[in-house]
Structure 1
Amino acid sequence: MSAEVLKPEIESRVVKKVARRIIPFLGLAYFVNYLDRTNIGLAKLTMSDELGLTETMFGLASGLFFIGYLLFEVPSNLALHKFGARRWIARIMLTWGVIAAAMAFVPTAEWLYGLRILLGIAEAGFFPGVLLYMTMWFPRAYRVRLMGLFLLALPVSSALGAPLSSAIIQYWDGLFGLSGWRVMFLVEGLPAVLLAVVTWFYLTDRPSQATWLDDDEKAWLTAELESEDSEKVGHVSGSVRRALTDARVWVLGLVYFGITYGLYSLSFFLPSIVAGFKKTFDTDFSLVTTGLIVAVPFAVGAVAMVFWSRHSDRTGERIWHVAIPTLIGAVSIPFALYMDSPFTTMLAVTVNAVGVFCALPVFWYLPSTFLTGAGAAAGIAIVNSVGNMSGFGAPYVTGWLFDATGNARAGLWVVGGVMLLAVVLVVVLRSRVGAAASGDETPEMNHRAQNQH
């Protein structure tokens, strides 16, 4: 058999085998991760009275998670690079699961603040670590689509987690002598502990160590990934210092800040906005119904994410596949302020969610075009750290504006403005670094990806 025939055959076989083993498991882990991070938004509906939280205090509690998260993000990702994904991701999951469950027992707002900081420290490094891990297993032509499948866990976590969490709060109130929101924290924290044990035995650090790949498959995948690393345009090598001083890393961080500002505003405050329909539109939704309504934008966003990431892979274009949905999200969210019914308000919110979720998987392709080795570990963590500053800013600013004005209007205008800034920055990135480093691929790479999927 000729090399030309053999390579596509083994390529297709290896990518499918690796994807089937890795993507579902990592997606499940991210599902639990995001649920434990954001379920405080639904807990708020009953927790606030018990702990005496104002909107500003709740925004602070939500955002404090990201203080610990940001401080330990880069060190955690460098530790993953040194100790291996299997050990480090298992450690991350164990500690965040224990702390998430411990939130069931907070007696005061101050204890809530402290545990949210510790939860951020515990979770630091998980998401960028998984992204780094994926670059160690998948050739570049397949990453956007496969990242899109992995990132499906984010909207699915919100779509399923919202009704699940609200049902636990409503129907398990009093279980173990605890309030419903406390039971929710306890029940939803334990799966991470169980997954930590599974991770220890299931994940493999690198292709060369994979007993579940044949020798020729391991050899092909290792050689392919090494070849791609050597071909990166203007790449940042294993130097952490070079990653820290590369302007592209920081610009990408600011772009991610704008995209996730919209994400965290929705995740933390959408339950409150829906609950506010009672005053605005004279509705009377139960807690479970509120959870189901909150799930809709995330469910639609999940479907859109799959199709958009596939379209990006088919065309080989990246920058505009980030800019266009982010622009749509930025423009749509202020329209929610002027709708005259719950349906049209949620329609505008759903369009915003579609914009956010479509941009995410394509965005995370961009750092891998010029980062390698320890530089990739540091650079991806920096991008994630800068971007996740919005996780503190979005809930705190939105909560403060809610208290100051009595409604969500000012906060949603800020969301639109910050997302619009991200659009400008990603277009600037396209013009400053050139097509290859900004993620646009050659027709040959594009044709190859289409043939294999």
Structure 2
Amino acid sequence: MSQPATGQSAHALLTSPHLASGIKKATFRLMPMLIILYFVAFLDRTNVGFAEAAMEVDRGISAGAYALGAGIFFIGYALFEIPSNLLLTRFGARFWLARIAITWGIVAALFAFVNGEPMFIILRFLLGVTEAGLFPGVIMFLAQWFPNKRRVQMFALFYLAQPFSQMLGAPLSGGLISFGEKFTPWAGWQVMFFAEGMLAVIAGIAAFFFLVDSPQKAKFLDDDEKLALKQVMEHEDAVKETDGPVGIGRAMINWKVWYFTVIYFCLQIAVYGTTFYLPQQVSGLIGEDVGWQVGLVSAIPWLVGLFACYYAGKHATTVRRRRTWGTAFFVITGVAILVSAWAGANGQSLLGIAAITVAVAAFLSTGPITWSFPTAFLTGAAAAAGIGLINSLGNLGGFVAPIMRTGVNEAVPTDSGAWGVVSLGVFAFLAAVMMWGTRFFSAKADALLLEDATPVH
């Protein structure tokens, strides 16, 4: 095993001009394609929110079946996440990420032909199966290309696909519904599903030509840049091997991996509990049916979130800052969700939209920060298993959120559904406590890789 560089040699690796130019080239070559992939993925997993009311009328999809279908996506996703990650390490990110996009795009397009509740639920499950591995695969891919000091910034750039998908995707989905109703023999929701599914297929084909598995295979880097990236990543891997689990089995039972799984689970409850119902919540606040106007208003939180996420990713460059900001963003998320519930119950439309905007900006900003912790101590096969476990089980929050929100609303019925929204905010506060608890971790690898002078508890 190679030994981690220390002192001046480690500093020299991280400040090499060849490393800086290599990272800059890799950012411009790889990140746009990865953002496009996640843009389409997030669009295809959440556009069901725009079709809920119409599918209930046209196909008899009840609120309970919708909640089950919205959530069961994450069951398929969770079951196939780790196997997909391991296959990615075997076949390479270029081929595997392209395969994922093409197959999920086909399934997403098939939603245009839903004829009842069973088919709706089965397709939602298959959408999770085919998309499994995309997000953790990209996290692993970025951890192989970019050093820890710059990794949160790359995660944040990748996360920008979420606000882009909702900022542009919300009007796109609403516009496709309106277009389909007026100019095609199909229902508007059918046009939306088919068109957006085909976008994923096209993105997958493009990914096969644009992505590169590793710096050593990149023709767009010169030899000095390849060497600089190789040396710094080997240094980081050596540090991780002295501070984290080695191998699949040890990663699966590592307590830190499970700790961040719980944090990510809480985050996903807030994310998808808000995202799945955002069109309906905005519709209720502004008094308009879901369509073009609702799509435009729904884009506002994601536009603000885009800037917040980018700023946080760019400046969260120390252990202390990542921990403090992550904790604060979780608290802000919880408070904003509670305020949005109160505003909806009391007819305060402007306050409600402002609160939703703050919640979206906060949970988008904390996502990249959360991922910086496990990628600082996981490498190799342990990374494939550990990152897959965190993402797969954490994403079950997306399964729990709509069912929990619906169940709470049925148990405590109100016209606004406020108590269902409140139930989501509780988990953000739990995540805040756990994020702050990372101050008691032994974070040797994180501190060393960031060259962070702040004390690590």
State whether TM-score is above 0.5.
yes
C-alpha distance in 1 between matches for 2:214 and 2:320: 27
Instruction: Name 2:160's counterpart in structure 1.
Output: 152
- The residue identity in structure 2 corresponding to 1:307 is Y
Displacement after TM superposition at 1:368 (Å): 1.1
Return the TM-score normalized by structure 1: 0.92
Where does residue 444 of structure 2 map in the other structure? Answer: 436
1:445 shift after superposition: 5.4
Q: Deviations over 1:178-230 (max 9, x none)?
A: 10001000000101111222222221111111122111211121111001111
Of the three residues 314, 329, 336, the one matched with 2:333 is 329
Distance in 1 of aligned mates of 2:13 and 2:409: 62
Q: Whole-Å Cα distance in 1 between the matches of residues 319 and 121 of structure 2?
A: 46
2:171 to 158, 163, 175: 163
Q: 1:36-435 maps to which residues of 2 (within 5 A)?
A: 36-173=44-181, 175-232=183-240, 235-277=243-285, 283-284=287-288, 287-313=291-317, 317-339=321-343, 340-404=347-411, 405-406=413-414, 407-431=416-440, 433-435=441-443
- After superposition, the C-alpha distances for 1:133-154 in whole angstroms (9 at most, x for unaligned) are 0011011110011211111111
Which segments of 5 or more consecutive residues in structure 1 lack a partner in the other structure? 448-453
Q: Which amino acid aligns with 2:436?
A: V
Equivalent position SS for 1:301: helix
2:5 maps to what in 1? none
Shift of 1:6: 11
| Partner amino acid, structure 2, of 1:421 | L
Aligned-pair Cα RMSD in Å: 2.1
**Residue 366 of structure 2 aligns to which amino acid in structure 1?**
A
Between 1:38-47 and 1:122-131, the stretch displaced more is: 38-47
Cα 1:332–1:51 shift into 2, 3 Å: same
User: How many percent of aligned residue pairs carry the same amino acid?
Assistant: 37
| Cα drift, residue 91 of structure 1 | 1.0
Q: State the partner residue of 1:27.
A: 35
Higher alpha-carbon deviation: 39-48 or 404-413: 404-413
Counterpart of 1:323 in structure 2: which amino acid? T
SS of corresponding position for 1:205: coil
Q: What's the CA shift for 1:159?
A: 1.4
CA drift at 1:261: 0.8
Q: CA deviation at 1:129?
A: 0.1
Larger deviation, residues 8-17 vs 177-186:
8-17
Residues in 2 aligned to 1:243 and 1:315: alpha-carbon distance in whole angstroms: 22
How far apart are the structure 2 equivalents of 1:140 and 1:73? 24
Aligned-pair distance for 1:65?
0.6
Deviation for aligned residue 1:55: 2.3
In the aligned structure 1, how far is the partner of 2:188 from the partner of 2:290? 14
CA positional deviation for 1:444: 3.9
Query: How far, CA to CA, are the matches of 1:25 and 1:241 in structure 2?
Result: 33
**What's the CA shift for 1:436?**
3.3
Distance 2:385 2:450 in 1: 30
**C-alpha contact 1:313 1:446 (8 A) present in aligned 2:** no
Letter in 2 for 1:223: Q
Offset of residue 237 of structure 1: 4.8
Partner of 2:4: none
TM-score of the superposed pair, with normalisation by structure 2: 0.91
For the residues of structure 2 that align with 1:317 and 1:65, how far apart are their CA atoms?
34
Give ranges in structure 2 of 5+ residues lacking alignment.
Answer: 1-10
Give 2:25's aligned amino acid.
K
Residues 115-136 of structure 1: CA distance to partner in whole angstroms, max 9, x if unpaired?
0000000000000000000011
C-alpha deviation, 1:296, in angstroms? 1.2
Give the counterpart letter for 1:304 in structure 2: A
The residue number in structure 1 matching 2:3 is: none
Q: Residues of 1 paired with 2:182 and 2:267: CA distance?
A: 39
Moved more, 309-318 or 391-400: 309-318
Could you tell me how far 1:238 is from its partner in structure 2? 4.5
TM-superposed deviation, 1:64: 0.9
Deviations 1:7-47 (A, max 9, x none): 63212111101111111110111101100110001111322
Q: Is the 8 A contact 1:61 1:112 kept in 2?
A: yes
Task: State the alpha-carbon separation in 2 of the partners of residues 417 and 24 from structure 1.
Answer: 35
Cα distance in 2 for residues equivalent to 1:108 and 1:350: 34
Please say if residues 111 and 123 of structure 2, whose CA atoms lie closer than 8 Å, have aligned partners that are also in contact: yes
Aligned 8 A contact 1:317 1:440 in 2: no
What SS class does the counterpart of residue 181 from structure 2 fall into? coil
How many residues of Structure 1 are paired with residues of Structure 2 in the alignment? 439
Q: How far apart are residue 430 of structure 1 and its match?
A: 2.7
Letter in 2 for 1:56: G
1:399-430: CA deviation from partner (whole Å, max 9, x where unpaired) = 23334414321111111111111111222233
Note closer, same or farther for the CA distance 1:21–1:72 as it changes in structure 2 (3 Å cut). Answer: same
Question: Equivalent residue for 1:450?
Answer: none
Whole-Å separation in 2 of the counterparts to 1:360 and 1:116: 24
- Taking the aligned partners of 2:86 and 2:14, their CA distance within structure 1 comes to 37
Q: Relative to 1, partners in 2 of residues 1:7 and 1:289: Cα closer, same or farther, differing over 3 Å? A: closer
